[in-house]
Chain A
Amino acid sequence: MTRRSITGFVLAGLAVALLLALGVSHFASSEPDGLERVALDQGFAGSATEHGTAGSPLADYAVSGVQNSWLATGLAGVIGVLLCFALGAGLVLAIRWTRRRPAARASTPRS
C-alpha cells in the first residue's frame, strides 16, 4: 500500500500549537512552578541571577512594546512556535543532507 501524505496532519498539528500559544497561553497559571516552589520553600530562590538574555525583545514570553498583555504573550508564543518548527525541521533537514545515502531512498516504498 502507499503511504498517506502527512501534509494535512502537520498543518493541523501546527494549527493546534499556534492556537495553544496564541489563545490558551493567556490562561496559564502564573504561580511559581515546581522547582521555583521548592527553591522558595527551601530558601535558595535568592541564588538565581539575572538572566543573560533578560533584555531580549521576547523575554518572559512577552513582546516588548505591546501594551495588551494577552496580545504580547500570544504573539511571543506564535513566534516561538514557528521558530521551534523551523529549527526542529531544519535540524533534521541538515542531518539528512549530510547523510544522504542510497539506502534512505530505497526504503521509501517500505510499508
Chain B
Amino acid sequence: MHIPDGFINAPTSIIGAVVAAGLIAVSIKKAGDTLDDRQLPLAGLVAAFIFAMQMINFPVAGGTSGHLLGGCLAAVLVGPWVGSLAMSVVFIVQALVFADGGLTALGLNIILMGYTTCFVGYGIFWLLRKVLPRNRSGVTMAAAIAAWCGVVAAALVFTFYYAVGGTGGAPVGTVAVAMIGVHMLIGIGEAVITGLTVGAVMATRPDLVYGARDLRPALVADEAAR
C-alpha cells in the first residue's frame, strides 16, 4: 500500500509529514515512559521481521497482490508506542534505501500503514481481549481479527487522503469502494500472518507478548507445569 510520489498533492503531503513527525515525537515520549531493557532488541526484531514480511507479496484475486502491513502485530508484540516507532523505522528505510514509497509521501505512508494499523489494530485487539477467552488462543484470535480491521482502516485513511489531495481526478466514491474491497481481501492475509506469528510467540515465549501481559503469571505457571 506504499503511496508513491505524485498520487497525493504537495500541500497534503507536507501536512502528512508534519503530522507524522508529531506522532513520532509522541511515540518517543510515551515509549520512554515505559521502556524496559528487553524492549531494545525486541524493537529491532519487530522492525526486521516486518521489513522481511513486507517484501513477500502474496496473490489475492484478479492479478493483484498484497503484503503484511504489520502494525497490529507490532503493537501486540511490543506495545503500540514502541511498535509505531518500529513501523516508522521500516517505512523510512524502505523510502530512503529501497525506493519503495515516495519521499514526499513518507509522512503519509507512516500515518497510513504505521500508525493506523498500530493504533486501530491495538484498540480493537484490546476490546476483543475483553470478550474472548483469557488464554493463548483468545490472544491469537484477537490479534488476527484486529489485524484485518487495521488493514481496512488503512484503506479508509488512503481514501481520506485522496479526497483531500488526490491527483488524477478519479471519483472519491469509486476509489473508496475499490480500496476497501481489495483491502478486505488483503486483510485476510494480514490476519493469517499476524495470527500465526502471535500464536508462535505465545507458544514459545508468552512472557514477551505485550498484549498478553495481564496473563503473564498464569501463562508462565502453565509453562512451568508442563
Residues of A within 8 A of B (CB): 1, 3-4, 6-7, 9-10, 13-14, 16-18, 20-21, 24-25, 27-35, 37-39, 41-54, 56, 58-61, 73, 76-77, 79-93, 95-96, 98-99, 104, 107-108, 111
Contacts and interface: CB of A to CB of B under 8 A. Distances in A.
> Which of A13, A42, A51, A107 is the most central at the interface, judged by chain B CB atoms within 10 Å of its CB?
A13
Interface in B19-58: 28, 31-32, 35-53, 55-58
A83 to B, nearest CB: 5
Given A34-B1, A111-B216, A44 B7 contact: yes
A-B CB proximity, top 4 nearest: A44-B168, A89-B44, A88-B47, A29-B65
Contacts of A49: 4-6, 102
Contacts of B4: 48-49, 51
Contacts, number: 245
Contacts of B58: 28-29
Range for the number of chain B residues in contact with chain A: 35 or more
What secondary structure prevails in chain B residues at the interface with A?
A: helix
What secondary structure prevails in chain A residues at the interface with B?
A: helix
Nearest to B106: A52
B21 to A, nearest CB: 14
B175 interface: yes
Interface in B76-98: 82, 85-86, 89-90, 92-98
Given A48-B7, A76-B98, A33 B56 contact: no
Contacts of A96: 32, 35, 40
Nearest to A5: B38
Contacts of A29: 57-59, 65
A84 B89 contact: yes
Interface of B: 1-7, 28, 31-32, 35-53, 55-60, 62-67, 82, 85-86, 89-90, 92-100, 102-104, 155, 158, 166-171, 174-175, 178-179, 182-183, 185-186, 204-205, 207-208, 216-217, 220
A31 B2 CA distance: 14
Nearest to B176: A38
B109 to A, nearest CB: 10
Nearest to A8: B205
Given A33-B64, A73-B55, A81-B52, 20 more contacts: A10-B41, A14-B45, A14-B48, A20-B56, A25-B52, A28-B67, A37-B62, A41-B178, A42-B170, A47-B167, A58-B99, A60-B100, A79-B97, A80-B52, A80-B94, A80-B98, A81-B51, A87-B44, A89-B44, A92-B82
Contact of B182 (A9, A16, A34, A89): A34
Nearest to B55: A25
B63 A37 contact: yes
11 contacts: A13-B49, A34-B65, A35-B179, A37-B178, A53-B103, A58-B99, A80-B97, A88-B44, A92-B39, A99-B35, A111-B217
